Amino acid sequence: MTVIPTPTPAGYADVLVGLQYGDEGKARIIDVIASDYEVIARFNGGANAGHTVEHADKKISLHQVPSGVFHPGKWLYIGSGCVLDPIKLVEELHEIRKIGGSVDDRLRISGLASLVQPHHVVIDQHTGSALGTTGQGIGPAYADRANRVVEGRIAHLRVGDLLHDPQQVFAATRENLARAVERNAIENIDQATLMSAFEIAAQAIIPLIEPDTLWLTKLATAGSRILFEGAQSFMLDVVKGSVPFVTSSSTLASAAYVGGDLSPKFHRKTIGVAKAIMSRVGRGPFVSEFGGAQSEEYSMSDHAKKQSEEAKLDVAKLLQSSSAYDIGTALRINGKEYGATTGRPRRIGAFDLVQLAYATAVNGVDEIYINKCDTLLDFASTSLPGIPIIVDYKLRGESIDYVPASSDLYRLVDPIFSSVPPFHSDISGIREPGDLPPEVLRFVQEVEKRSCRIVGIGVGPARDQFVLF
């Protein structure tokens, strides 16, 4: 007699992406909703992604490991759309262990992910400053993924190649490094030391490599619920973003199923994350920026300004200034807006409803969380009439409802501002929507009109400082 197994309900996948220029607090939202999933998966980027995760009294900055570190029993998956730096990953795993965490038995790395080789980092640090890259080798690694072979050498090496013949991988990596140093006339590089560190780290991650290219599909088919975690954010997408001032991978929600190794038939919903006061790192158009070109140049000139800003500047005086640049500086200090990976100051901007509507439409966003709404309190101390929001774009005198296809055109956009009345009380202790000041609810309503349903707002940095609608 044939026994027919009882069918198991199929699982599903949700995708979470940042809707602005990064640093919206995606990891913080994942920490809140992680209990709804069995797997948290990365589908793009590499060690250039910096996100701080807090849980109880533990805090850590992650770069390659997905954000479910403090949720025991959750699978963590690094998909084929990522580029993996073994050295940085081993360092990150060590930091996790130092604070009492462990992911060794639940972290899997797609064998199809690309290796960030030593020459990628060397090239990026030698040439990447014009774009404001993090110097982690991400762009060169993705470039070699496309090039495949350079000057007759295998340029693109995958994580899974380590399962077949590590020594063959190391030989190719060694040759790639030597040729890159020679071709770019890079001096003072200790190639032997770089290669030794790479080989030790690569050997260490071999037990974490997943050879089964259907691993995630099998879990979803068996009923697992999967959350895809986007790195960077929509406006930094390699195609849709303000080229060339973008990252090297696709940050769109739709990219989750290619880079995350799962069929889109499992898709359930897309979750967007925004920040009440926007920020951007590096160069590129930023329509709502406080201080415009002056702010952009300042943020690029020195990556060690955090301590000097906090120690020397009078925030209260800056907030009362008539200068948008000064107001932006004060908002950065109060909001602690400095890069998790580089420490460099972030450029600060007002909330842009046109940009958010564009991001919502392109990504098919179903619901949005807005972080750091508590920081909007600062506007009550400024000379501004309220909380500024961009409600329209004008390009050469004509109203547009989209982000232009050219970065140069985007810089020509004139933002049309409106404002929401400011609120005057601390909201960090509020947990119920009915207790929020009407001005905060008005802000949420204005955002919702132009995008989609707002399901929650952050009112402070702690895990429980949330108001859910």
User: Hey, which residues does 415 pair with through a beta bridge?
Assistant: 393
Closest by Cα among 148, 160, 161, 153 to 180: 153
3-state secondary structure 328-382: HHHHHHHHCCECCCCCCECEEECEEHHHHHHHHHHHCCCEEEEECHHHHHHHHHC
270 is in an annotated binding site: no
Strands (E) in 177-290, as ranges, are 209-210, 225-229, 267-275, 278-280
167 is in an annotated binding site: no
**C-alpha span between 326 and 405 (Å, rounded):** 31
Alpha-carbon torsion angle 198, 199, 203, 204, nearest 10: -40
452 is in an annotated binding site: no
E strand or H helix at 191: helix 191-205
**C-alpha span between 151 and 309 (Å, rounded):** 48
CA-only gyration radius of the chain, Å: 23
23 is in an annotated binding site: yes
Tell me how far the alpha carbon of residue 84 is from its chain's centroid. 15
Q: Let me know if 23 is a catalytic residue.
A: yes
97 is in an annotated binding site: no
Q: Which tokens is 344 given?
A: 């460099």
166 is in an annotated binding site: no
Q: Is 83 helix (H, G, I), strand (E, B) or coil?
A: strand
50 is in an annotated binding site: yes
342 is in an annotated binding site: yes
24 is in an annotated binding site: yes
56 is in an annotated binding site: no
Residue 54 CB contacts under 8 Å (≥ 6 apart), including other chains: 28, 31, 461, 462, 463
414 is in an annotated binding site: no
**C-alpha span between 284 and 242 (Å, rounded):** 7
The one catalytic residue in 51, 63, 120, 156 is: 51
158 is in an annotated binding site: no
Q: What is the DSSP letter of 442?
A: H
**C-alpha span between 168 and 155 (Å, rounded):** 13
26 is in an annotated binding site: yes
316 is in an annotated binding site: no
388 is in an annotated binding site: no
27 is in an annotated binding site: yes
213 is in an annotated binding site: no
Alpha-carbon torsion angle 173, 179, 184, 188, nearest 10: 70
Four-residue CA torsion sign, 413, 295, 383, 319:
positive
372 is in an annotated binding site: yes
28 is in an annotated binding site: yes
Closest by Cα among 86, 75, 338, 355 to 229: 75
Q: Let me know if 164 is a catalytic residue.
A: no
Closest by Cα among 104, 114, 136, 111 to 123: 136
51 is in an annotated binding site: yes
276 is in an annotated binding site: no
The one catalytic residue in 14, 23, 31, 352 is: 23
**Annotated binding-site positions for Mg(2+):** 23, 50
**Annotated binding-site positions for substrate:** 340-346
* Residues designated as active site: 23, 51
**Annotated binding-site positions for GTP:** 22-28, 50-52, 346, 372-374, 458-460
**Annotated binding-site positions for IMP:** 23-26, 48-51, 134, 148, 232, 247, 344
**Annotated binding-site positions:** 22-28, 48-52, 134, 148, 232, 247, 340-346, 372-374, 458-460
